[in-house]
Each structure stands twice: as structure tokens, then as C-alpha cells.
């Protein structure tokens, strides 16, 4: 397991599997990857801020090439040092109205407001989307929980 420094608040521990996925993605796209979370049904990559265009490529060529090579769906999240922007990015196509950060009992929490019609998409099947956001917020900005409003 390798540690990769992410921000002043913490570091990310990468498994050998994650490192292999990152190396493959970076070699195929030239985009810088900060984190990779391999899940059973998909791979979630955190892309360096400003490298999203490289990661996707013209007409989606780069990401489609990686998807084909790995035979897995891929989700990209653009990193931001600002936790509010990062959480909005992690929700992907969901329209996030607001993100309020607060500290309760020594724990950092993010309250996220999304339109009612998009709550299902924000949560995802079996909660997989909200769990992805919670994990990324914890790993990259030491936010203990993300609560939908």
C-alpha cells in the first residue's frame, strides 16, 4: 500500500490494484490521476484539477479507450482544493443547489441541497452514488458525512 499526499488535511492510501488502474489511465490519457476507487461494478477516478479534458479526450476518445481496455464503467470526478466545489463535482450530473459545511461534535459535515426530482439520482441504486460522494469527501477533505437535504 502506498500513501499519496492529497491535501494539508490528510493522505490517501492506495492499494496495488488502485496504483495499476491509475498507471494505466495516466499512460492512456496523459491526465494526472490523484485517486482511484475500484468498485465491483465501476472504477471511480479523481482527476487533477484542469486535467478533465485530457481524461475525456476529443469526443470522449480517451475515456472510451480506457473503458474498453478495462471492460468496466468509469466515473471521473475533478479534484478541487475547495471542499464545496469538490462535493459538487463528485455528484456528477446532479444539480447541487448548495453545500453547507459545518462542524458538530468535532466532526466535519456537509449538508447538500439538491432538487427533489434529482434526489433519486443523487442517492443512486442501493445508495451507491451518495456512498461514493461520502467516501471521496472523507478521503480528500476529511469530511465525516455528507447529508442530503
pLDDT in tens, 94-109: 999 999 999 999 999 9
Asked if residues 15 and 43 have their Cβ atoms less than 8 Å apart, the reply is no
Question: pLDDT at residue 2 above 70?
Answer: no
- Residues 63, 30: Cα–Cα separation, whole Å: 11
Tens-digit pLDDT profile for residues 111-136 = 999 999 999 999 999 999 999 999 99
Q: CATH: 3.30.300.20, 3.40.50.300, 2.30.30.40, 3.40.640.10. Which one for 2-78?
A: 3.30.300.20
Q: Please give the pLDDT value at position 14.
A: 87
Tens-digit pLDDT profile for residues 14-63 = 889 999 999 999 999 999 999 999 988 899 999 999 999 999 999 999 99
Ranges of each domain in the chain: 2-78, 90-148
- Residues 68, 33: Cα–Cα separation, whole Å: 18
Q: Please give the pLDDT value at position 134.
A: 97
- Equal CATH topology for 2-78 and 90-148: yes
pTM of the model: 0.90
Q: Please give the pLDDT value at position 109.
A: 97
Residue 11: pLDDT band with limits 50, 70, 90: low
Residue 12: pLDDT band with limits 50, 70, 90: confident
C-alpha distances out from residue 84 to 38, 93, 99, 109, 138, Å: 24, 16, 6, 11, 13
Phi, psi at residue 46, to the nearest 5°? -100, 115
Q: Is residue 68 classed as helix, strand or coil in its secondary structure?
A: helix
Q: Buried b / exposed e across 106-132, counting CB within 10 Å, b at 16+?
A: eebbbebebeeebeebbbeeeeebbeb
Tell me which architecture the domain covering 90-148 has in CATH: 2-Layer Sandwich (3.30)
Q: Please give the pLDDT value at position 144.
A: 96
- Residues 139, 34: Cα–Cα separation, whole Å: 11
The whole-number average pLDDT for the span 68-91 is 96
Amino acid at each position: 500500500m502506498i500513501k499519496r499526499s492529497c491535501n494539508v488535511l490528510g493522505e490517501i492510501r492506495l492499494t496495488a490494484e488502485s496504483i495499476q488502474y491509475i498507471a494505466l489511465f495516466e499512460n492512456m490519457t496523459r491526465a494526472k490521476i490523484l485517486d482511484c476507487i475500484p468498485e465491483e461494478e465501476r472504477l471511480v477516478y479523481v482527476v487533477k484539477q484542469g486535467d478533465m479534458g485530457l481524461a475525456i479526450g476529443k469526443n470522449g476518445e480517451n475515456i472510451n479507450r480506457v473503458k474498453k481496455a478495462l471492460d468496466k464503467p468509469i466515473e471521473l470526478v475533478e479534484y478541487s482544493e475547495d471542499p464545496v466545489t469538490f462535493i459538487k463535482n463528485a455528484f456528477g450530473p446532479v444539480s447541487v443547489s448548495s453545500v453547507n459545511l459545518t462542524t458538530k461534535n468535532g466532526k466535519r459535515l456537509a449538508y447538500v441541497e439538491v432538487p427533489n426530482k434529482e434526489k433519486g439520482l443523487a442517492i443512486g441504486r442501493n445508495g451507491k452514488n451518495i456512498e461514493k460522494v461520502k467516501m471521496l469527501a472523507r478521503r480528500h477533505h476529511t469530511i465525516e458525512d455528507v447529508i442530503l437535504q
